[in-house]
Amino acid sequence: MGLVNPDFTDRVNRPEGFNAAACMNCGVCSAVCPMGIDLLPRKLFRYVLLGFEDKVLANSETIYSCLLCRMCEANCPAEVNIAENVRTLRNYINKNVFNI
């Protein structure tokens, strides 16, 4: 159960340029991920779109384990800037959790 929190979505979205709106949940990203990260990126992106801050933060480990290799991005049919979105999320966590 999660309560949609548009404020979180806005905080991540607007200043930092997170954009996964075009994602259509096809799953190519998960299939090609060399780390086999199943949360990344589509499930995680849904959490951001719906504003599930706690679920995003609970998966900080996973967010930092991404290699930023862009294999997913190269294969994304919807041209989502996946790696950039992961960076944006790391920025958010750096600022809001680790205060750096």
Distance (Å, rounded) from C-alpha 100 to C-alpha 87? 14
User: Smallest distance, Å, CB 74 to other proteins?
Assistant: 21
User: Taking CB under 8 A as the rule, does residue 1 contact other proteins?
Assistant: yes
State the number of binding residues for other proteins (CB under 8 A): 15
* Interhelix angle 82-96/6-16, nearest 10 degrees: 110
25 is a site residue for other proteins (CB under 8 A): yes
Non-local CB neighbours of 69 within 8 Å, separated by 6+ positions: 34, 83
Q: What is the DSSP letter of 23?
A: -
Helix axes 42-50, 6-16, angle to 10 degrees: 110
Q: Does 31 bind other proteins (CB under 8 A)?
A: no
Q: Which of 22, 35, 68, 69 binds other proteins (CB under 8 A)?
A: 22
Nearest CB to other proteins, comparing residues 9 and 85 = 9
Q: Which residues make up the interface to other proteins (CB under 8 A)?
A: 1-4, 6, 9, 13, 21-22, 25, 43, 46-47, 49-50
